[in-house]
A and B are shown apart, each in its own frame.
Chain A
Amino acid sequence: MLGRRGTLPVLVGPPLVWLALLFVAPLILIVAFSLRPEAGVVSAGEPWNPSLVQYGKVVGTPAFLRLLGVSALMALGVAVVATMLAYPVAYFLAFRARARATLFLALLLVPFAASYLLRIMAWKLLLGPAGAVNSLLSAAGLIGEPLDLLLYSRGAVVITLIYVWIPFASLPILASLQRIERSQLEAAADLGAGPWTRFLRVTLPLSLPGALAAFFMVFIPTVGEYVTPTLIGGTGGIMYGNLIQDFFGRAGNWPLGAALAMVMLILTVIGVLVALRAVDLRRVAP
């Protein structure tokens, strides 16, 4: 019979092999590519002398680093707001939806099965100068010129990203709310805690690990986001991820794209580690 300790290799083995083969090994190839001195799409097999030329370009171009900073700030804002807005959704699912929680949860996620590109095109139809929103507003005499606030700007990107992330951010929060035992809240109530006190003293602290997980789940990929800025960012709303995407896509300059990606990866990992140290998950998690 398999005891606790004997189970560990079974648990760790498959993910480790999977990640080593499909994540670590490819990542090493990307690092190798970022050390290629010559630009352009290069055949994988050719020998070359490793150099830091590409990293020099990244670090030596203030506009790139500035954009990375801006993207990180945008991601921070998106992650904070999306997590805060996701909290009530998760709370609703955990405590009010009851038996239908799974159904209500599924309803939140299923729309993402419809192409994001097409959904954004539909939004543009509603928000564009000839769209439903502007038609309504101008028919009502509220506006003279069509509003273009919600399209083609950095603000539009941030708003859209928050909107897109709320359902996903609610998932880890929901998971952590589900761990709260009724007895814990009853004990608090018995000790005279009012509803808000119970929330602030019991529910919130117990759900913080989930909220943190949600925050990082939103923040980390948003730093490298490119789809939303491409579709609605306009020229001013472009993010760092767009540069990477372009170099791996149309521009076909993998070495520079790889260096840009590695710089982002390293700085983000450092940022997250520093943040985790400051928060100290272990003090939050009981």
Chain B
Amino acid sequence: MPARHRIRTLFALSAATILLLAACKGAEPQNLLVLEWSGYEAEDFWTDFKSDNADAPVTFEFGISDADILAKMEAGSQADLFHFYSGWQQFYVDGGLVQEIDTSKLTNWDKVPDSFKEQGQVNGKQYFLPWDWGFTSILYNTDEVAEVTSWDALFNVDYAGHVSMWNDGPAAVTVSAYVNGWDETGITADQLAQIEQAWIAQKPLNAFYWSGEYEDLCPAVEDGTVWVAYAWQGCYAQALYDGIPVAYATPSEGRNSWIGFYGISSKTDSYELALKFLDAKLADLTMNNVVTQFYYGAANQDVMNAIEDEVLIEAFGINDPTILEHTNFTPPVTAEQRSAWTEMWARVQAE
């Protein structure tokens, strides 16, 4: 082919691709836009809504972290609904980004335990709908590690080289608060300095700080690199399924629990449809898919009570209700606290 034809082809090709791309985003008669973590857009996780409202298209916008999702909402995302995790409730309320949920219109609301409902309230109003939840605790290899009864196992020098902490500042502060018996929401500058020193000293004990449950933590727990880890219950369930000798501690300080919430944007013009979507989100089939596919807990207690899978019963501590009673829900923190904690963690990492 002569060169000029190639170049012309090249230009034509690029023009065509750009037109194609432009066309891709063209027609969007969207009724509901959900700002969501990627993975939840699969129909299994809104199947009840789909079957009742086949004519109402749902589209998704994606976020990768709570900070990212908040940033997108603050930047004026058109999303009608958004999904985020514990600790960030206050920001949405303070920023006027969310509106109260009319729970009287939710047929599945009664299936949600009160303790979860309370976590979704700010200033006495139900701004958020609790949906998925899980534990954080110490996951450990029972062949290598004696029974773990406290969060301080992460600081035990006997396990040097085989510990793994989550790469997250606020999580580090939470663990330190448990170990020291401090109030997590009232950490002083002095306490934060102590926390920083403790984690700097703990640093060499880690094989690595993990960043993704299934990307780096779980494989390392399963191949024997990691013996003691800050972990969510999903990795515990997976290790159990794979026959790895692991246990999930119930520390004397209590486990930590986190909840995923949905909020309705204050700017939505489809409030009623958003309510329908949330109600369907709580329905049994949808919630059951979350439990069986993601190993996440469901806010629908009927679904939790109906679990028969031995591993999941163990992972969610369903046979021992005291676990959930003694758990510490991740509390909301202020922007100042959050930035102080993340900056502390950056210094620990850089050290």
Q: Do chains A and B touch in the complex (CB under 8 A)?
A: yes
Chain A residues within CB distance 8 Å of chain B: 38-44, 57, 61, 63-64, 66-67, 117, 121, 124-125, 128-131, 148, 151-152, 230-236, 238, 240, 242-243, 246-247, 249-254, 256
Pick the interface stretch among B43-51, B199-207, B303-311: B199-207
- Is B110 among interface residues, defined by CB-CB distance under 8 A? no
Q: Tell me the nearest residue of chain A to B339, going by C-beta.
A: A39
Chain B residues within an 8 Å CB radius of A57: 343
B31 to chain A, nearest CB (A): 26
Chain B 40-71 interface 0/1 with A at a Cβ cutoff of 8 Å (1 = within): 00000000000000000000000011111011
Count contacts between A and B, CB distance < 8 Å. Answer: 118
Chain A to chain B: the 7 pairs with minimum beta-carbon distance, closest first: A252-B67, A39-B339, A251-B342, A63-B350, A43-B74, A130-B223, A40-B335
Chain B residues within an 8 Å CB radius of A152: 207-208, 225
- Is B215 among interface residues, defined by CB-CB distance under 8 A? yes
Chain A residues within an 8 Å CB radius of B74: 41-44
- Assuming the contacts A129-B224, A152-B207, A249-B64, asked whether A43 and B343 have C-beta atoms less than 8 A apart, the reply is no
Q: Tell me the nearest residue of chain A to B214, going by C-beta.
A: A121
- Assuming the contacts A124-B219, A130-B223, A235-B208, asked whether A39 and B67 have C-beta atoms less than 8 A apart, the reply is no
A230 to chain B, nearest CB (A): 6
Judge whether B343 and A256 touch: CB under 8 Å. yes
How far apart sit A151 and B349, CA to CA, in the bound complex (Å)?
18
Judge whether A247 and B208 touch: CB under 8 Å. no
A17 to chain B, nearest CB (A): 15
Chain B residues within CB distance 8 Å of chain A: 64-68, 70-71, 74-76, 95, 161, 167-169, 203-204, 206-209, 211, 215-216, 219-220, 223-225, 335-336, 338-339, 342-343, 345-347, 349-351
Main SS class of interface, B: helix
Judge whether A61 and B347 touch: CB under 8 Å. yes
B228 to chain A, nearest CB (A): 14
Judge whether B70 and A41 touch: CB under 8 Å. yes
How far apart sit A38 and B339, CA to CA, in the bound complex (Å)?
9
How far apart sit A236 and B67, CA to CA, in the bound complex (Å)?
26
How far apart sit A233 and B71, CA to CA, in the bound complex (Å)?
29
How far apart sit A27 and B65, CA to CA, in the bound complex (Å)?
23
Judge whether A252 and B66 touch: CB under 8 Å. yes
Judge whether B351 and A249 touch: CB under 8 Å. no
Q: Tell me the nearest residue of chain B to A232, going by C-beta.
A: B208
Judge whether A43 and B75 touch: CB under 8 Å. yes
B210 to chain A, nearest CB (A): 10
A124 to chain B, nearest CB (A): 7
- Assuming the contacts A129-B224, A230-B211, asked whether A253 and B343 have C-beta atoms less than 8 A apart, the reply is yes
Judge whether A235 and B204 touch: CB under 8 Å. yes
A224 to chain B, nearest CB (A): 14
Judge whether B349 and A243 touch: CB under 8 Å. yes
Q: Tell me the nearest residue of chain B to A249, going by C-beta.
A: B65
Judge whether A40 and B338 touch: CB under 8 Å. yes
B84 to chain A, nearest CB (A): 11
Q: Tell me the nearest residue of chain A to B161, going by C-beta.
A: A148
> Which of B65, B219, B345 is the one whose CB lies under 8 Å from A252?
B65
How far apart sit A212 and B53, CA to CA, in the bound complex (Å)?
61
Judge whether B223 and A131 touch: CB under 8 Å. yes
B42 to chain A, nearest CB (A): 19
Q: Tell me the nearest residue of chain A to B205, going by C-beta.
A: A235
Chain A residues within an 8 Å CB radius of B216: 231
Chain A residues within an 8 Å CB radius of B346: 64, 243, 246-247, 251, 256
> Which of A67, A117, A231, A251 is the one whose CB lies under 8 Å from B169?
A251
A24 to chain B, nearest CB (A): 21
How far apart sit A67 and B347, CA to CA, in the bound complex (Å)?
10
Chain A residues within an 8 Å CB radius of B211: 230
**Residue of A40, A63, A117, A131 most packed against chain B (CB within 10 A):** A40
Judge whether B209 and A235 touch: CB under 8 Å. yes
How far apart sit A131 and B95, CA to CA, in the bound complex (Å)?
50
How far apart sit A254 and B219, CA to CA, in the bound complex (Å)?
32
Judge whether B208 and A117 touch: CB under 8 Å. no
How far apart sit A251 and B71, CA to CA, in the bound complex (Å)?
11
How far apart sit A43 and B70, CA to CA, in the bound complex (Å)?
10
Judge whether A67 and B223 touch: CB under 8 Å. no
Q: Tell me the nearest residue of chain A to B211, going by C-beta.
A: A230
Q: Can you pick out 21 interface pairs between chain A and chain B where the beta carbons lie within 8 Å of each other? A: A41-B67, A41-B74, A43-B95, A61-B350, A66-B350, A67-B350, A117-B215, A125-B223, A128-B219, A129-B223, A231-B215, A234-B208, A243-B346, A243-B350, A249-B67, A249-B68, A250-B67, A251-B338, A252-B70, A252-B71, A252-B338
